[in-house]
Structure 1
Amino acid sequence: MARASSNEGRGPLYRLYINRLRRRLEPGAVPRHLAMMIDGNRRWARQLGYDSAAHGHRAGAAKMREFLEWCDDLGIRVVSLYLLSNDNLTKRDSKELSDLLEIIAELAEQLSHERDWRVQHVGRSDRLPPELARVLVAAQDRTRDHTGMHVNLAVGYGGRGEIVDAVRSIIAKHDEGGGSLEELAASLTPEQIGEHLYTGGQPDPDLVIRTSGEQRLSDFLLWQSAHSEFYFVEALGPDLREVDFLRAIRAFADRDRRFGG
């Protein structure tokens, strides 16, 4: 897979096409919540001959900032970025992981100063290095009162673990009230579990996008994506273009959502 040309997207015809795509999108047709799985950073770095995956991860982080601007300009209210899974914390090369943790910390710090975005960490802080956990908490606190686009940063995240944490939270709360397990079993609902997820109170993602041609969820928002639409882009993460993004939104707008039907 070739890297996109450095001049691609700068010509007048390209911008004309972008503007045409934007005009054809009705405001009510864009997703309220969009989840993005940025993938292919390592392959991007390897194909360009870099000796370290960090070059790809930095390019991917820069693309994520650009991607969020596209989302904000289109009126999307919630965006979730899958930046680091729990599996990544144990399976990545130690040097690559160290570089990636530093890049994620830099991205979180930068995003907390962008526009009026509200940044939220989604994941387990206790599994992260203390410095990264501190940066994520600081970014969340700094933007707590912001009213712009809500940006979820999934770091140290796992969908199965999130569901387990939600059920544990429900059991603990029920136990504090003195209820029995039989009462809890009789009253437990999907809505109750949803309220105790890391994204509790947010709409579920309407659209999930993944780059690099991979077509799997990789333990991302398993519960929340039960009725999501999916769109897979062949471009590697750093090569994602605005036209790719707008085509994904257009495809979403053209679909007849059945919500389980």
Structure 2
Amino acid sequence: MIMKNPFLTNKQSQESFDYSDGHTPEHIAIIMDGNGRWAEKRGMPRVAGHKEGLSTVVKVVKMAVKCQVKILTLYTFSTENWKRPKQEVDTILRLPKEFLSVYLPDLIANNVRIEAIGDLENLPAHTREAMQFAIDRTRDNNGLLLNMALNYGSRNEILHAMKGLLKDINDSNQSLDELDEQQFSNYLYTAGMKEPDLLIRTGGEKRLSNFLLWQLAYTEFWFTDVLWPDFSEMEFLRALKDYRQRKRRYGGI
């Protein structure tokens, strides 16, 4: 399958949108759902949908840069995804290398910095190496942070944080009595990152699927029936427009 490079063209018509509006979410998290169903509807193997979804990733990254979003976190592979057929798992875990081999120069040109969260040690070597190469190559960029959640599960993340916290308490580096939410957040994979302002989930499902459970406590949710490979720049802007109309009270009035 030949992947189109959305960085090279910008001819698709888009809704009128004020890109300079200050009420744009700083951190957007996306559950990219519907790749397999997209392929099955076309009589194609499920893996074809995951490959097609790569072009959508680039379109969304490009639009996020244009909208001056600071962090974009993509749910790329969950701890539960290991339950899928081996061929599908193997394909998904090869996609980071395939994606970066094609698009990394464009990401660098757009000042994108790449990071990864999750249990990375248990990923295949080729996946880890591709991600580390991209992280190293983009380390000095100061634009959009593209945060890839790989082998990520929020319950595992919280357990990992608790183990780190307990170790520090046992080593007398942390006092349990002085522990607060901010200090606990420093033990999460997302330490130092602003919590998401907006969560987008494609594919019609309305659940979090073990994604950023701690971090999404006060995040605004936006769901769409559009399958991820069909998710367009205009759909992304619709989510942002909807977000701009909401009032975030954080429990207040």
Q: Confirm or deny a common fold (TM above 0.5).
A: yes
Aligned to 1:36: 30
Q: Does 2:89 correspond to 1:97? A: yes
Report if aligned partners of 1:38, 1:211 keep a CA contact under 8 Å in 2.
yes
Larger Rg: 1
Match runs of 1:83-232 below 5 Å: 83-89=76-82, 91-110=83-102, 112-113=104-105, 114=107, 115-176=110-171, 178=172, 184-232=175-223
CA contact (8 A) 2:74 2:149 kept: yes
> TM-score, with normalisation over the residues of structure 1?
0.87
In structure 1, stretches of 5+ residues that fail to align are 1-9
Gaps of 5+ in 2: 1-8
Q: Distance in 2 between matches of 1:169 and 1:110?
A: 37
2:40 paired with 1:49: no
Aligned partner of residue 57 in structure 1, secondary structure: helix
Paired residue for 1:6?
Answer: none
Q: Does the Cα contact within 8 Å between 1:33 and 1:78 map onto a contact in 2?
A: yes
TM-score normalised by L of structure 2: 0.89
Deviation at 1:19, TM superposition (A): 4.7
Give per-residue Cα distances to partners, 1:168-227, cap 9 Å, x unaligned. 222223333x36xxx732121110111121111111000000001110000111111100
- How many angstroms apart in 1 are the aligned matches of 2:230 and 2:179? 44
- Contact residue 109 and residue 139 of structure 1 kept, 8 A: no
Worse overlay, 249-258 or 112-121 = 112-121
Amino acid at match of 2:143: G
Post-superposition CA distance 1:82-107 (Å, at most 9, x none) = 01000102x11001111111113322
CA distance in 1, matches of 2:96, 2:85: 16
The amino acid that maps onto 2:150 is V
Of 65, 71, 75, the residue aligned with 1:82 is 75
Say how many residue pairs are matched: 240
Partner AA of 1:173 in structure 2: D
**What is the identity percentage for the equivalent residue pairs of Structure 1 and Structure 2?**
34
Q: Post-superposition shift, 1:109?
A: 4.5
Query: Once the 2 structures are TM-superposed, how far is the Cα of residue 35 of structure 1 from its aligned partner?
Result: 0.3
Q: Note the C-alpha offset of 1:234.
A: 1.1
For the residues of structure 2 that align with 1:108 and 1:156, how far apart are their CA atoms? 18
Distance 2:250 2:58 in 1: 31
2: distance between equivalents of 1:44 and 1:157? 23
CA RMSD of aligned residues (A): 1.9
Deviation at 1:151, TM superposition (A): 0.6
Distance in 1 (CA, whole Å) between partners of 2:176 and 2:239 is 41
SS of 1:27 mapped into structure 2: coil
Instruction: Report if the CA contact (8 A) 1:112-1:118 is conserved.
Output: no
